[in-house]
Amino acid sequence: MNVDRLFDSLTEEVRRLVPSDMRITSIKFEGPLIVVYTDQYEKYSSNDSIARMLAQNIHRRVDIRPDPSTLEDPIKVSEKIRGMIPETADIFDINFIDETGEAIIEAVNPGEVVGKEGQLLADLRKESGWNIKVIRAPPIPSKTVSDVRGYLRANHDERQEMLTHVARRLARPTLDGEQWVRVTAMGGFRQVGRSASLLTTRESKILIDCGLDPSSDSTPYFAIPEVQPLADIDAVVITHAHLDHCGTLPALFKYGYKGPVYCTHPTRDLMALLQLDNIKLGFGENKKTPYEAQHVRQEILHTIPLKYNETTDIAPDVRLTFHNAGHILGSAIAHFHIGDGLHNVAFSGDSKYEKTWLFNPATNRFPRLETLVIESTYGGHNDIQPSRADASEEMGNLLQKATEHGGKVLIPVFAVGRSQEVMLVIEELMRTGRIPKCPVYLDGMIWEATAIHTAYPEYLNSQLRTQIFQQNENPFLSPIFKRVETAAMREEICHSPDPCIVLATSGMMSGGPIMEYFREWADDPKNWLLFVGYQSEGSIGRTIQRGRQDITLNMKGKPINLHIKMQRHTVDGFSGHSDRKQLMRYISSLEPKPDKIIIGHGEDRKCTDLASSIYKKFGIETKAPQNLETIRLR
């Protein structure tokens, strides 16, 4: 059956299944979705049973939307909505999504928008024709979230063309013959950095992650024949927004990829933020990045965000479900169901099997699981990390010592994840009087990344989610935090005689504002440098962490020699990666147990050590492949 005949068959089936009195104006195929448009949307807006029934019968995701012809102009609708809603709702923003016919109202008091027994919300839908949804306004506005939404709205037609192209690719006829599944290591195996794996079946090719090595700027192995031409790749799946997992993704669009990118909503926004910042940092340091801002914008247009536990087709024979990985905001374990029960494989990305200050622990239960691809950043025999409570205690002791004699504390952090956890710990230490209060400066992308965290509270653990929406209790809005917004302010902080704490990027000291502070403070033994995150082999951060006294830095193309006198300490326990005990406990708790485990994202000896230990303890077949190796799973 060709694509057009399949679409015709599905259209007829949908029309047969829906209630006879439901007026359908059109049925379209957008990416993995079948979209049913009706000019009676207000009649069905509060009833999702029809969409569920259709999905169960035709085995496709179904969305019911208002017919575009029934939607009033967003400007007029915005005025009407604001006129109907009481001022006590305190509307922050109204985001119109033409693609879905949704108007999302962000309000400080969302209950005021819903009204008694939902009556006001029903009236808003009826009067406007739009699918009105209400969410709580984020306490910290995010420019990135706003810009991404605006860009998608302004380029609606181009995005619709992309979704139609994806729908046709998904519906292409399948091939006869022997079915098989393979994984090719394209980067990030027996190393940390440039993570990339190619999942290949007889029908399709899926690229999982597309990272950059921050210590050397090296990229995955794209010259291999399996990924050429790029147009043959069915989908790219990104597990999370750290650059070692998504830092080369925009380059795919530069060199001809036109397909979809699947990730969570926070990952879409965070990776755009970090990729654009990477371009900016490269320009400032006379380093050429492998892509430009226009390619990041193409990436945004081609991204199809998914929620946790939402299953969707991404190839004719592959279904994808994201599960919480516990690593950073929106990080996901990508679970692939291949064929009609042929094979199930999960790629953990980076994961944390422990409840942290930000997130719940990584998911360990799946419907089916034959193969697991897991990280081993801290997979070595002696890689045991302190608990979060012990890490907080140690940080308090070190900050107490560092600041009591007027010293300055410099903490290199990744903008996403570690910064927010360190902020929470410092805020609690100062609020409870454990350490004296002093300014805590945030430099780099930290503030904007924090704002994105508050835009997606459903991805945080319940305790923090409650805190950030309680007036005067949001730890991120504590007056101790000062945002560094200009070079002049940074210069003033560098030369101030007063004690302070600075959180700055980049986390491995490979560039960014952290180097400005380090250059000014390195020669004073009163100052402290605290490492809280992983420093990869070959990075400047790892060199300094190991105790090098003299170092030459390349600052904007000029070599600068430094003699380091400042005190250096590492506070373990803040990592977003599972340590050795947590990795083994995760394998032990998995339901069901996989038949095979593939080890990656770790230094050579840690990959092989973890692989050996898993096999010895659990009797599970393990592989620790090198880059460019291919493993047949089925």
Place of tokens 């422990």: 354
**Side-chain-side CA neighbours of residue 320 (13 Å):** 31
Looking up residue 445, the CATH number of its domain turns out to be 3.40.50.10890
Mean pLDDT, range 532-549, rounded to an integer: 87
Mean pLDDT, range 368-392, rounded to an integer: 94
Closest CA relative to residue 91, chosen from 76, 75, 112: 112
Based on the domain organization, do 64 and 201 belong to the same domain?
no
Give the integer Cα–Cα distance in Å for 595 and 601: 20
Which of these three, 549, 570, 591, is where a domain ends?
Answer: 570
Place of tokens 């609606």: 156
Using one digit for the tens of pLDDT, what is the confidence trace for 148-163? 999 998 999 999 999 9
pLDDT of residue 427: 95
Where helices occur in 209-287 by DSSP H, the ranges are 243-246, 249-254, 265-284
Based on the domain organization, do 414 and 296 belong to the same domain?
no
Helix (H) or strand (E) holding 168: helix 156-170
Q: Are 63 and 50 in contact (CB under 8 A)?
A: no
Based on the domain organization, do 559 and 596 belong to the same domain?
no
**Side-chain-side CA neighbours of residue 606 (13 Å):** 25
Using one digit for the tens of pLDDT, what is the confidence trace for 394-419? 999 999 988 887 889 999 998 998 89
pLDDT of residue 59: 87
What mean pLDDT value characterizes the chain?
A: 92
Domain membership of residue 145 (yes or no) is no
pLDDT of residue 405: 79
**Beta strand pairing call for 408-412 and 621-623:** unpaired
User: Which range (186-190, 281-285, 519-523, 610-614) has the least confidence?
Assistant: 281-285
Domain membership of residue 586 (yes or no) is yes
pLDDT of residue 41: 84
Give the confidence band of 46 by pLDDT, cuts at 50, 70, 90. low
φ, ψ dihedrals at 342, nearest 5° = -65, -50
Based on the domain organization, do 368 and 451 belong to the same domain?
no
Based on the domain organization, do 87 and 215 belong to the same domain?
no
Domain membership of residue 194 (yes or no) is yes
Mean pLDDT, range 163-191, rounded to an integer: 93
Domain membership of residue 152 (yes or no) is no
pTM: predicted TM-score of the whole model, two decimal places:
0.92
Based on the domain organization, do 90 and 53 belong to the same domain?
no
pLDDT of residue 518: 94
* 308 DSSP 8-state letter: B
Domain membership of residue 167 (yes or no) is no
Please say if the pLDDT value at position 101 is more than 90. no
Based on the domain organization, do 64 and 78 belong to the same domain?
no
Based on the domain organization, do 9 and 64 belong to the same domain?
yes
How many domains are contained in the chain? 4
Based on the domain organization, do 341 and 399 belong to the same domain?
no
φ, ψ dihedrals at 177, nearest 5° = 115, -175
Domain membership of residue 38 (yes or no) is yes
Based on the domain organization, do 360 and 397 belong to the same domain?
no
Using one digit for the tens of pLDDT, what is the confidence trace for 336-368? 999 989 999 999 999 999 999 999 999 999 999
Using one digit for the tens of pLDDT, what is the confidence trace for 15-40? 999 988 899 999 999 999 999 999 88
Domain containing residue 488: 388-570
Please say if the pLDDT value at position 471 is more than 70. no
Where helices occur in 350-405 by DSSP H, the ranges are 388-404
Domain membership of residue 159 (yes or no) is no
Based on the domain organization, do 208 and 308 belong to the same domain?
yes
Please say if the pLDDT value at position 230 is more than 80. yes
Please say if the pLDDT value at position 560 is more than 70. yes
Looking up residue 114, the CATH number of its domain turns out to be 3.30.300.20
Q: Considering the chain, what percentage of its residues have pLDDT values greater than 90?
A: 71
Give the integer Cα–Cα distance in Å for 385 and 369: 28
Based on the domain organization, do 283 and 231 belong to the same domain?
yes
Please say if the pLDDT value at position 267 is more than 90. yes
Domain membership of residue 148 (yes or no) is no
Using one digit for the tens of pLDDT, what is the confidence trace for 1-19? 688 998 999 999 999 999 8
